[in-house]
Amino acid sequence: MDSRFNERRSEVGIGDALIKKMSGEYYKTQKSVNEYIHLAKGFNGSELIDKLKNVLQQHSIVLEIGSGPGTDWSILNRFYKVVGSDFSLEFLNHLRYKYPTGEFLNLDAVTLKTEQKFDGIYSNKVLHHLKDKELIESIKNQHKTLNDGGIICHSFWKGEDSEIFKGLFVNYHDKSSLRKFYEAGFDILTLDTYKEFEDGDSLLLIGKKK
Ligand SMILES: C[S@@+](CC[C@H](N)C(=O)[O-])C[C@H]1O[C@@H](n2cnc3c(N)ncnc32)[C@H](O)[C@@H]1O
Give the total number of structural domains in the chain. Answer: 1
- Could you tell me the distance, in angstroms and rounded to a whole number, from the CA of residue 149 to the centre of ligand 1? 25
Ligand 1 binding pocket includes 154 (Cβ within 6 Å): no
- Could you tell me the distance, in angstroms and rounded to a whole number, from the CA of residue 86 to the centre of ligand 1? 6
> Global pTM?
0.91
Residue 2 in domain: no
- Could you tell me the distance, in angstroms and rounded to a whole number, from the CA of residue 173 to the centre of ligand 1? 17
Residue 94 in domain: yes
- Could you tell me the distance, in angstroms and rounded to a whole number, from the CA of residue 87 to the centre of ligand 1? 8
Residue 21 in domain: no
Instruction: Report pLDDT for 32.
Output: 84
CATH code for the domain of 127: 3.40.50.150
Instruction: Report pLDDT for 18.
Output: 46
Residue 5 in domain: no
Q: What is the pLDDT of residues 163-198, one digit of tens each?
A: 987 678 999 999 999 999 999 999 999 999 999 999
Q: Using an 8 Å Cβ cutoff, are 204 and 194 in contact?
A: yes
Q: Which domain holds residue 120?
A: 44-209
Residue 35 in domain: no
Per-residue pLDDT of the chain (210 residues; tens, 9 = 90+): 445 555 554 444 444 444 434 446 888 888 889 988 999 999 999 999 999 999 999 999 999 999 999 999 999 999 999 999 999 999 999 999 999 999 999 999 999 999 999 999 999 999 999 999 999 999 999 999 999 999 999 999 999 999 987 678 999 999 999 999 999 999 999 999 999 999 999 999 999 999
Residue 71 in domain: yes
Among 129, 165, 168, the mutation site with the greatest number of ligand 1 atoms within 8 A of its Cβ is 129
Instruction: Report pLDDT for 167.
Output: 74
Residue 13 in domain: no
Cα atoms in the Cβ-side hemisphere of radius 13 Å centred on 35 = 20
Instruction: Report pLDDT for 29.
Output: 87
Ligand 1 binding pocket includes 129 (Cβ within 6 Å): yes
Residue 39 in domain: no
